[in-house]
Chains A and B, each alone.
Chain A
């Protein structure tokens, strides 16, 4: 054990000090991976469990650093200001696709080349177990009978709960008090204490609490029931019209600056494809209620475009977009 630790230490120290040979191919030194969310969050967990497999494939060290802040704007901006030589990677979530419509920044993933769209998280609308509602339909009925009194946990403009609320509002009516928390964790804590009434959450964050019986799932954001929560109804049962938005969920991706040379992009894309396909990482994704996507190249771009168009227009329809997606040439779904 200790031996292994020492070996790892020696290896990483060696990799850091070794002067790179002059004519070596990419990658000839350490790569910096910038995570646009804080330590311990979903994006951070994905990045840290994926990277060791990619390091094996690339045969170099990827030094991960968290640059959280401003819904990920800070981290993405720092990657965009570094040279486009493939030595700075962004580990990002879905948020950049909404920056312009939320008036946060004028860049999106369109300013980058996706290396890999790793996977997509599943979403569940959860409530404390002692609520009377059995499903989303009951919640909607209650909310329409008492408009503006139910307390929904949110994570701020552009966050997952607000987007889900906007989607629901673009096909139905759900008038609630939006109480903002610093993330899924603090929101769940408040819900366990009964300080909020419901909250749309990533399955990864909610599943253990639903399993323990302290929270219950009202609906999952899919067309079919999912195997992790077979007894929770898909959202289309209460809101059939929402189907056009599905499949939908937060996703994670690795990207580099758009100007990065093609051969470097190809090298990285190969390594990440291999890394995501790794069995151990696949298990990690499944266990955390996420679907593996492992998309690269054109497929990845199409995925990003579709996600952006669906979400941005849903926000616009619900009146939550600060700037119309039309202004940025985001196509209607």
Chain B
């Protein structure tokens, strides 16, 4: 126990570790904020960069980048409606309207504090229950992932505020986009129209940058002559009262974040959407209606996606299994530095676990400092005249999508999605459900087929498993409950009468 505490404090007491964590967090915020620069990419570049370093130094830097990066995605989501990363998509739903109302500073301030709370809850759960939680995560069979995906798709009901049928169309469209590429099982192309380039699929960040960034930029051109809203830069740091008011919601959504993050097949992107949905269902009187700048709509996804960081480390540190793409790369880093990540990691090198936990806590403190710094300056971005902002947004979108794969194909796709998104937006289709589909489509397809092939392609056997396994029963019941409570006929009728 005393040892654990020493390991925990390692990054706090060693000056170079402290500095590296700080640098990492700071860099992470800006890497995360720029769409197209992902944390995964940054961490893999860091592997080469830190090759000759001591493993602790390398890890401290990476942990910092990870924490900062997950948070950073919210910056551009709030200011420009371009989520810096998929896990910040839900943040843009209410964050961007807030910025449009002159409250960008308050939105960033609140999201920073909530991210840190979420992050710390994530680490707390990681430190206290990692072995138990990872055993729990292992219980999820392919059919359970399928059920989670179904549960996720039901979020369409709350993301598509105005017309359910349009929401369903948009989500299915997203799923089709997500499926483009080589079928992982048979290696044949799906929706590739014979193109070799499309065999690799369409990167979901491309879809995101196009639908959110470019489509929004085009809409902004309608308001060329409208004077931008003056940003209120008073009271940027949320008051204690405000934080306490949202604390229960933050804790609930953080727990969602940790669990979804700890499942090896799902990560912060899905967690934040679940959290947003949870907020929408559970908060009866939001500060403003959801989708129009509700603080609750900011608190939930931001707590959840940062809590998911702690979750992602659960399978990584206990089993050597990645909880998401970033921890997969970090496992690679451990291997390259001569450690053996695996179930024995905690036995053979127990210090790694507590060192990581310590570094994560430290990174969250730096996040609070760096996150609250410079907000006034950032809020001014929204005050820039549209005639300057819109071309810059487009360049940023181009660079972001190009750097995904160093190829122009992604850039053309990005612009194509931007224009398509503009049309879809005109006719009342929303972007949220499309992204939901892109993220969940492949998960659903994969897990459905895994579940089917493990029971020998027999539907009765599948249904029997569904009704005999406790975990599956719970998930199935959750789906049924959600269906009954949220898609009543009333809503269907209203939406068909009063579409768009």
Contact = CB atoms under 8 A, between A and B. Distances in A.
Direct contact of A and B (CB under 8 A): yes
Interface of A: 1-2, 4-5, 8, 12, 32, 38-41, 44-45, 48-49, 51-52, 64-71, 73-74, 77-78, 102-105, 148-149, 151, 155-158, 177-182, 185-186, 188-190, 192-193, 195-196, 207-209, 211-212, 214, 283-284, 287-288
B182 A208 contact: no
B138 A180 contact: no
Given A1-B57, A177-B454, A193-B138, A39 B335 contact: no
B342 A180 contact: no
A77 B338 CA distance: 32
A189 B344 contact: no
Given A2-B16, A179-B450, A192-B138, A52 B48 contact: yes
Given A158-B187, A177-B453, A185 B182 contact: no
11 contacts: A39-B325, A39-B329, A48-B48, A52-B52, A70-B196, A104-B182, A148-B456, A180-B449, A192-B138, A208-B344, A209-B320
Contacts of B140: 193
B14 to A, nearest CB: 9
Contacts of B330: 40
A177 B449 CA distance: 12
Contacts of A155: 184
Given A195-B142, A211-B344, A180 B51 contact: no
A186 B264 contact: yes
A2 B53 CA distance: 10
Contacts of A4: 52-53
B127 interface: no
A67 B188 CA distance: 19
Closest 4 CB pairs of A and B: A208-B342, A69-B200, A40-B328, A74-B200
B139 interface: yes
A149 B458 CA distance: 12
Contacts of B393: none
A39 B187 CA distance: 21
A105 B197 CA distance: 12
Contacts of A102: 187
Contact of B342 (A44, A73, A189, A211): A211
Given A48-B44, A193-B141, 18 more contacts: A5-B20, A40-B328, A40-B332, A45-B332, A45-B335, A64-B44, A65-B406, A69-B199, A69-B200, A103-B187, A103-B188, A151-B454, A180-B450, A186-B264, A192-B138, A192-B319, A196-B454, A208-B320
A190 B53 contact: no
Contact of B47 (A48, A177, A208): A48
Nearest to A69: B200
B200 A68 contact: yes
Nearest to A52: B51
Contacts of A104: 182, 187, 199
A70 B198 CA distance: 9
A327 to B, nearest CB: 18
B405 interface: yes
B84 interface: no
A214 B196 CA distance: 41
A188 B197 CA distance: 30
B182 to A, nearest CB: 4
Contacts of A211: 342, 344
Nearest to B41: A39
B265 interface: yes
Contacts of A2: 16, 19-20
B485 interface: no
Task: Specify which of A102, A180, A181 lies most central, judged by the most chain B CB atoms within 10 Å of its CB.
Answer: A180
A190 B185 CA distance: 16
B420 interface: no
A283 B453 contact: no
A12 B50 CA distance: 12
A66 B201 CA distance: 15
B343 A77 contact: no
A78 B57 CA distance: 34
B141 to A, nearest CB: 5
A209 B343 CA distance: 6
Given A39-B44, A52-B52, A193-B138, A208 B343 contact: yes
Interface string B320-331: 111001001111
B341 interface: yes
